[in-house]
Amino acid sequence: MANLIPDIVARSAEFKGIRRLLHAHPETAFEEHETGALIASKLKEWGIEVHCGIGGTGVVGVLRGRPGDKCIGLRADMDALPMQEGNSFAHCSRHREKMHACGHDGHVAMLLAAARQLAESSEFKGTVNFIFQPAEEGGSGAKRMIADGLFERFPCDAVFALHNWPGLAAGTFATRPGPIMASCNEFKITIHGKGGHAAIPQQSNDPILAAAQVVSALQSVVSRNTSPLDSVVLSVTRLQAGTGFNIIPDSAQIGGTVRTFSLPVLDMMEKRMESICKLTAQAHGCSAEFRFLRQSIPTVNDAEQTALALDVMRSVVGQDQVNAEAEPTMGAEDFAFMLAKRPGCYAFIGNDAQSPATERFGLHHPRYDFNDDLIPLGASYWVKLVNAFLD
């Protein structure tokens, strides 16, 4: 039996309603105006100091307890994904091609529930900054909030974040010290050749042939240029060229992603990929443009703050329900930028329903939905973490 805070449990229905309201009205990166307004309204209602427009559409609530020097930051992401929802329940998305398919609606609800509890029983010593971040889904909202003076305006000695995780049973937590999520990087390659008639290929420089060789050669970077002990993913996800069966086009486009846990390995990957693209294209009488976009750095947990977070998790759900050696994932998280500035811990909270008969859908699936039973669990963790860190 989880050690939940009774007042939070008693208000579960209220925050379930807020979560479902957010799910029905999703907003994508840097468009979270109604979401931010709802958050700000609730925080003000509970007497919490509110600051809006941080990094565009971000919201920060500041709550001061008894006099104390320490400050803690708790972060929840609030943006939705640009995809069509496949559910038909009452709280499904009202907006076409927008959906909370990653549970950010639930993250907001958990942090709001914790904010209310802390506001009504502010026995802690120090300051809590409730950070509601926009544009986590590829928009680098954390980076923009930092650039907008997040930590100068709202000092934090440590920062923490919580993400629901399908594949983990509800009622469990998981995290680890060190790297827990990978960097996220996008590459875009354009091969320029010389088009012409498909029946006279000798008069052309075929960019499709060059692109095919580039795609094949890129696979050698991981297998032959990185250590087998390094975790690296290179995936080509887009190859586009041509308009007709009898036309050799002038150009071809290649796109994809690279994920690593190490910045030196990432530097090597970028350099080696660029060399392969340009030299391979040149060997086929073509030229190549290479762009490498670094969207997020690796998410690296601080050992001391992770140990504290794990202790709090155990106090909430018990030793057996906490995995202190969670397997790192090649998914990415721009909370990494906050952890690069302040020590802290990023953790997973299990999202799977207890019933094995319940059909499960993963993150970013059109049938995904957040498990509302997590709200009092996550909120209780947040409150106990604040008390443990500040006192």
**pLDDT band of 229, cuts 50, 70, 90:** confident
Return the bridge partners of 228, or none: none
User: Could you identify the residue written with the tokens 């307004």?
Assistant: 37
Q: What is the pLDDT of residue 16?
A: 98
Answer whether 0.85 is exceeded by the pTM. yes
Amino acid symbol at 71: C
Digit-coded pLDDT (tens) for 250-260: 999 999 999 99
Beta strands in the chain, from DSSP E residues, in sequence order: 49-54, 58-64, 66-77, 125-133, 158-169, 173-174, 178-181, 184-192, 196-197, 232-241, 247-248, 251-260, 287-296, 299-301, 322-323, 344-352
Say yes or no to pLDDT of 73 above 70: yes
Cα 51 from Cα 44, distance rounded (Å): 10
Say yes or no to pLDDT of 185 above 80: yes
- For range 199-206, the mean pLDDT: 96
Digit-coded pLDDT (tens) for 21-32: 999 999 999 999
Say yes or no to pLDDT of 6 above 60: yes
Cα 49 from Cα 66, distance rounded (Å): 15
Q: What is the pLDDT of residue 198?
A: 96
Whether 117 contacts 7, CB under 8 Å: yes
Q: What is the pLDDT of residue 138?
A: 83
Task: Work out the percent of the chain whose per-residue pLDDT is above 70.
Answer: 98
**pLDDT band of 171, cuts 50, 70, 90:** very high
Burial 19-37 (b: 16+ CB within 10 A, else e): bbebbbbbbbbbbbeebbe
Q: What is the pLDDT of residue 391?
A: 84
Digit-coded pLDDT (tens) for 133-160: 999 998 899 999 999 999 999 999 999 9
Q: What is the pLDDT of residue 2?
A: 83
Say yes or no to pLDDT of 122 above 80: no
Estimate to the nearest angstrom the gap between the alpha carbon of 50 and the chain centroid: 24
Say yes or no to pLDDT of 234 above 70: yes
All domains in the chain, ordered by first residue? 6-181+298-390 (3.40.630.10), 184-296 (3.30.70.360)
Q: What is the pLDDT of residue 213?
A: 98
Digit-coded pLDDT (tens) for 306-350: 999 999 999 999 999 999 999 999 999 999 999 999 999 999 999
**pLDDT band of 121, cuts 50, 70, 90:** confident
Digit-coded pLDDT (tens) for 342-365: 999 999 999 986 544 446 789 999
For the four alpha carbons of 274, 277, 283 and 287, in that order, the dihedral sign comes to negative
Q: What is the pLDDT of residue 1?
A: 62
Cα 202 from Cα 184, distance rounded (Å): 40
- For range 264-280, the mean pLDDT: 97
**pLDDT band of 246, cuts 50, 70, 90:** very high
Share the mean pLDDT of the chain. 95
Q: What is the pLDDT of residue 359?
A: 62
